[in-house]
Amino acid sequence: MKTLTYKVIDGNSKGYLALLAILGLFVLAGAVAFFYMEHNGHWVTGMNDQVVWGIPHVFAVFLIVSASGALNVASISSVFNRKVYKPLAPLSAVLAITLLLGGLTILVLDLGRPDRLIVAMTKYNFKSIFAWNMLLYNGFLAIVGVYLWFMLERKMNQYSRYAGFAAFFWRLILTTGTGAIFGFLVSRQAYDVAIMAPMFIIMSFAYGLAIFNIVTIASYSWTNRQLGDVIFERLRKLLGIFIGAVFYFVTVYHLTKLYATKHHGVENFILLHGGVYTDLFWLGQVVIGMLIPAILVFHPALAKSRRALVTASALVIVGGISQMYVTIIGGQAYPMVMFPGKIVESSFFDGGIKSYIPSLPEFALAFGGFALSLIMVALAIKILRLLPESLSDAEIAPHHKA
């Protein structure tokens, strides 16, 4: 591989400024939504006594999971010594940090009383998986931050691989912890299964890479820089592999649930008679999020199409958000089984399916957090030397074997 020249973008074009302005409007809308909900209370949202995690949590968990997967390219270059991915490793690390910050911002602002975050940071209940995740999130930011510094500082380049190993293992632990939040909730029929931890890891690979693909292709296209077929081909095939892996784990997850008689009720709810949750599972998660992207990625006629990869990546993101909606909100909407084998009815609607209709402030906060992640990436590309001037085939891998 030839020596590459990294250069910041000018960031003075009308397109770049328009992008910042649009993303800034979403961030502003999210801030207004937070103050509205904080001032009036969460009764103004669609959440209720059973569905306590709404659309903001869906986006927050999606971004947190995606943050781990966004580090795919950097991990492959450092841990597995695949040199062809090395030029994009700094962008991969930056995207991982910004996605996690965006997700945590939504999470903190949605829970209410964000001023009490300091309590969660100073007093730990190690019997709580949430306390574990406080350490995992902060550790991820610190380790990936050091990893990025080692990659950008020439004097520290020799240590970047060691930092890459640390970041790789920490990201696996982090995503395991996020999946364990749901896997350890034995009171919810839709959760309570150990496979959710590895399934979240595989989901992170697909979602994070999908966002990375869009950011990378857009960055090189909008700055008139060359992105060769070698890099493009690797990213395309990698996304296809991760889509297949997600499909496998989702299938095993539901087969595991169906095998246990006590879970037949919730599986019937999600797969057949759950209304919007069933629609989102089959149409959003399976068809839009997996089947169509797989066709776009693997069809021979679309193998060289950049638009096909961007479209597939965007559909994977839509499918991922659908999957989180079904998992998080659908899992809460289905009633908890208080007394197995018995029918529970009362004036408090025990045993009934709880409805949830997201409110506009919830959507504003969710999209505001997503926009915050993207605006940080856009600013980082302008400030830091993250992108090589050219990733043409002649520059990146003359013999296509790196």
- Report the residue count for the chain: 402
Taking alpha carbons only, the member of 45, 48, 37, 42 closest to residue 333 is 48
pLDDT level of residue 6 (50, 70, 90 thresholds): confident
- Residue-wise pLDDT for 347-382, tens only, equals 565 666 788 899 999 999 999 999 999 999 999 999
In a domain, 4, yes or no: no
In a domain, 190, yes or no: yes
In a domain, 162, yes or no: yes
Cα separation, 400 vs 278, in Å, equals: 44
- In the predicted structure, residue 343 carries a pLDDT above the cut 70: no
- In the predicted structure, residue 339 carries a pLDDT above the cut 90: no
In a domain, 2, yes or no: no
The pLDDT value given to residue 277? 93
Cα separation, 90 vs 264, in Å, equals: 46
Transcribe 82-147 into DSSP letters: -GGGGGGHHHHHHHHHHHHHHHHHHHHHHHS-GGGHHHHHH---TTSHHHHHHHHHHHHHHHHHHH
Cα separation, 283 vs 267, in Å, equals: 16
The verdict on pTM exceeding 0.95 is no
In a domain, 321, yes or no: yes
pLDDT level of residue 39 (50, 70, 90 thresholds): confident
In a domain, 120, yes or no: yes
- Residue-wise pLDDT for 268-287, tens only, equals 899 998 899 999 999 999 99
Which CA distances in Å does 202 have to 224, 248, 253, 258, 285?
33, 10, 13, 21, 15
3 state DSSP class of 342: coil
- In the predicted structure, residue 400 carries a pLDDT above the cut 90: no
- In the predicted structure, residue 105 carries a pLDDT above the cut 80: yes
In a domain, 308, yes or no: yes
The pLDDT value given to residue 168? 93
3 state DSSP class of 226: strand
CATH at 329 = 1.20.1630.10
- In the predicted structure, residue 157 carries a pLDDT above the cut 70: yes
Query: Phi-psi category of 82—alpha, beta or left, where left has phi over 0 and alpha has psi -120 to 50?
Result: beta
- In the predicted structure, residue 295 carries a pLDDT above the cut 90: yes
Kindly state the average pLDDT of the residues 127-141: 82
Looking at every residue in the chain, the average pLDDT score rounds to: 88
User: What's the number of domains the chain is made of?
Assistant: 1
Cα separation, 105 vs 48, in Å, equals: 22
Domain with 332, as residue range(s), is 14-396
- Residue-wise pLDDT for 198-239, tens only, equals 999 999 999 999 999 999 999 999 988 888 888 999 999 999
Taking alpha carbons only, the member of 124, 144, 132, 145 closest to residue 179 is 132
Cα separation, 88 vs 225, in Å, equals: 13
HSE-up of 150 (CA within 13 Å, CB side)?
22
In a domain, 329, yes or no: yes
Three-class DSSP labels, 371-399: HHHHHHHHHHHHHCCCCECEECHHHHCCC
Kindly state the average pLDDT of the residues 86-114: 91
**Low-confidence winner among 57-71, 136-150, 243-257, 333-347 (lowest mean pLDDT):** 333-347
